[in-house]
Amino acid sequence: MSRRSLLCAIGGGTAGLALAGCGVPPAYVDPGDRGRRDLSARERSLDFANWPLYIDTDDENTSERPTLDAFTERTGISVRYTEEINDNDEFFGKISPALMNHQETGRDLVVLSDWMAARFVRLGWVQEMDRAGQPNVATYLDPQLRSPAFDTGRRHSVPWQCGITGIAYNRRRLGREIRSTRELWADDLRGKVTLLSGLDEAFALLMQGNGVDVTRWRADDFHLMCEQVEQLVKRRHIRRFTGNDYIKDLSTGDVLACQAYSGDVIQLRADNPDIEFVVPEEGGELWAESLMIPNLARHKRNAEALIDHYYHPEVAAELASWVNYVCPVPAAREVLASAKDEETAALAEDPLIFPDDRMRARLAISRDITAGERREFAKRWNAIVGL
């Protein structure tokens, strides 16, 4: 079971709109008000909130997390690890009252998707990290991930794991290859295509299909994409819009092609080798879910140390071999390649975990939807999708 398959892709959502244009003050926090006296030296602990199924566990005892346990053994810092993030908007609703009222959240480290991470950075709800204490991050972070539009220089965020939004299809049932997003609209796929329902999950790949540079897309690009999707809906070309239940549709053959996440397809292919994943010729979206330290966290230095722990190539390799997403530490590839276990060593050659240069050339990190755009864009997209 994939961690990503637990997401509820609800796009602009509800809590996310609360600060985007409903008359609520933006609750921006100035840099000088984000930190507090750090208790890390006295309290050798930290609180880490993550998504379910997003960390390695012991095969025989799932309550044990080898990479996390190794950190505690090496540093003496205990970690209270909770799998409490099931949806970006839901988690936003849980901790935003504290953050907008300049109160601590009770968490030292959280993992959020790019588009939600962008919102936290804009609002000033996360602290800048001290890279002097994170030599592994400074050395090993994938160059392609070092400076997204929402966080120049990655001062406030560090990728936990990454993924690709592309196209999955059943090659045997379809009887041909798919290489381009526009091929999804061919007559032989009428009624056999699904798109992701979430605005933030869907829009970039569809714009890339129009040749748009998604690192700098404009409102006109968004509305053109919406017009095209509206016409496809009217012609009943699109079967439906999905969350991660596209996995079931693709597995049963109810759909032949769909928008999909790379990490899901790795697991789908283990059961059905006819399933293919492609980064379209026009491009695919590279996304990350990133570690961030909320304002007023009690154990900032401890959290920074844990982040750096996961950027040691040996540790990154161990995590990547379990979660099967794009690893943000390219140096982990050599570690996996040298593994004695053949199945583990094979992961080093999987481009959905370590994209090769040809695939990387087609990947881009999309600029996020700004607070000023979100209300209008979410309203239009949700009307198309039926949310």
- What are the pLDDT digits (tens) for 39-59? 999 999 999 999 999 999 999
Question: Across residues 92-112, what is the average pLDDT?
Answer: 97
Residue 152 has a pLDDT of 93
The pTM of this model reads 0.90
CA distances from 64 to 94, 216, 310, 312 (A): 27, 43, 17, 20
Residue 26 has a pLDDT of 61
pLDDT at 12 over 90: no
Lowest mean pLDDT segment, chosen from 19-33, 135-149, 180-194, 277-291: 19-33
Amino acid in the structure at residue 100: M
* 25 against 123, higher pLDDT: 123
Question: Across residues 189-213, what is the average pLDDT?
Answer: 97
Helix (H) or strand (E) holding 97: helix 88-100
Work out the pLDDT band at 200, boundaries 50, 70, 90.
very high
Residue 270 has a pLDDT of 85
Residue 6 has a pLDDT of 41
Residue 10 has a pLDDT of 30
Q: pLDDT of 317-347, one tens digit each?
A: 999 999 999 999 999 999 999 999 999 999 9
Residue 132 has a pLDDT of 94
CA distances from 269 to 110, 166, 255, 275, 308 (A): 30, 15, 16, 6, 32
Q: Is 17 exposed, middle or buried (0-12, 13-18, 19+ CB in 10 A)?
A: middle
pLDDT at 15 over 50: no
Q: Name the token pair of 112.
A: 């959020």
The pLDDT > 90 percentage for the chain reads 88
Closest-CA residue to 103 (of 115, 114, 92, 95): 95
Question: Across residues 193-210, what is the average pLDDT?
Answer: 97
Lowest mean pLDDT segment, chosen from 23-32, 95-104, 183-192, 378-387: 23-32
Whether 7 contacts 53, CB under 8 Å: no
Work out the pLDDT band at 112, boundaries 50, 70, 90.
very high
Whether 17 contacts 119, CB under 8 Å: no
pLDDT at 14 over 60: no
Work out the pLDDT band at 387, boundaries 50, 70, 90.
confident
Residue 11 has a pLDDT of 33
Q: pLDDT of 243-301, one tens digit each?
A: 888 999 999 999 999 999 998 998 888 889 999 999 999 999 999 999 999 999 999 99
pLDDT at 217 over 90: yes
Residue 324 has a pLDDT of 92
Work out the pLDDT band at 66, boundaries 50, 70, 90.
very high
Report the DSSP pairing between strands 257-261 and 275-278. Answer: unpaired
Amino acid in the structure at residue 24: V
